[in-house]
Amino acid sequence: MTHASTVVHSSKVHETDVVVIGAGQAGLVSAHELQRRGISGYAPRSLPADDDSHVSFVVLDAEDGPGGAWRHRWPGLTMATVNMIADLPGMPSEPQSGKERSSEFIPEYFGDYEDEFDLPIMRPVRVRKVERDGDGFLLTTTAGEFRTRALLNCTGTWEAPFIPWYPGQETFRGIQVHTHDYKQPDQFWRKRTLVVGGGISALDHLDEISKVTKHTFWATRTPPRWKDPREFSEGNPGRGLGAQAGRAVEERVRARTEQGLRPLPVVAETGLPRNEKVRSMEERGLLDRRPMFDRLDANGAWWGEEYVELDAIIWATGFRANLRHLAPLKLHGGKGGILMRGTRVAAYPNLHLLGYGASASTVGARRDSRAAVREIVRHLKTD
């Protein structure tokens, strides 16, 4: 049972110094760091802003309980197959066998963390829009309006699933489901099913549905970038890149965002581990990868003159940053992305995006959240 506040709807504008949007990993790390630096949770601002001991913050989370997007992962996704979940600062997670459902293990861990540090989380509160308000921001939410001097956006990607468009897609009469909505393999019982996507989720779907489908197909936009498991976390291949490789990926992603370019999908940078699970899938003939099809029709897909009948398509095509509520701030530039300086939006000294670009990885989120809070505290002192 967590100490997250029950939402009280009010027409009054709530005043606070820092708002954190989202209580996933980045949001919890940010809240812990704010608290560690003596910033008060829940309490309203009452003394001069340069008195850090009376600067206040609150976390607004759209979910009904702890766990962020992990609450919605499909039941077959276990702790043995998820990307590495870095321990939260000050309280490591319990030992794992790898068989635990991620949709249960991680929310329980996050909930215990919220309890342990009594983090000021209000839920469920959905932020509808964020507008500029003088030097700060005005947030319109399902719990009223919040005025804040600084904003840490930690909304992640789960609510922004991405499905690329292909000719004939709207005419296909079979099942189409994105990873976001995938639940159970039984939905694909005896169906000729195509999995689209080159990431770990696609591999997990292929492995799981192969036990019930009539036939599986796999298509990716580019050839899979297989990597030696030793490049991933030592002793736990497949659950995230090792420190050195991870830093190299983050540097490449950060180089793009600091030019205002759109971040590349994670799989384009990290690759896939050729581990024991992958070798087993190869032996079972599941990884006979095809390039992307040219078009769809009512009953299947075309690769040039080759036609494959299909009953279902699983789009494991990833997610985009969930930033719709920030649209009034007009953050995107002419190069397709947001011009960043680390985690800070270049145009705003008091707005940080965690989970965007290099901070999208779990390890990156932990480190970058702390760095963002340090910048926010400095900004509040000099504002």
Cis peptide preceding 48, ω within 30 of 0: no
CA 61 to chain centre: 14
The pair of structure tokens assigned to 366 is 């932990």
> What's the confidence (pLDDT) of residue 381?
83
Residue 43, pLDDT score: 55
The whole-number pLDDT of residue 238 equals 38
Question: Which one-letter amino acid corresponds to residue 223?
Answer: P
pLDDT tens digit sequence for 31-76: 999 999 988 886 554 445 455 457 899 999 999 999 999 999 998 8
pLDDT tens column, 38-47: 888 865 544 4
What is the pLDDT, as a whole number, of residue 16?
94
At 173, list the tokens: 């009469």
Low pLDDT (below 50) residues in the chain? 1-2, 45-47, 49, 52, 234-241
How many beta carbons lie within 10 A of that of residue 3, not counting itself? 14
pLDDT on residue 358:
74
Number of other CB atoms surrounding residue 99 within 10 Å: 9
Cα separation, 302 vs 167, in Å, equals 10
Alpha-carbon span 318 to 265, nearest angstrom: 7
What pLDDT score was predicted for residue 234?
A: 40
Confidence at residue 266, expressed as pLDDT on a 0 to 100 scale: 58
* Single pTM value for the model: 0.87
b/e for 270-300, b at 16 or more Cβ within 10 A? bbbbbbebbeebeeeebbeeeeebeebeeeb
Interstrand relation of 192-196 and 215-220 (parallel, antiparallel or unpaired): parallel
Distance, in Å, from the CA atom of 249 to the CA atom of 268, rounded to the nearest integer, reads: 10
Summarised one tens digit per residue, pLDDT across range 213-224 is 999 999 999 999
Nearest to 15 by CA among 138, 134, 121, 125: 138
37's CB contacts (< 8 A; 6+ apart) are 52, 373, 377
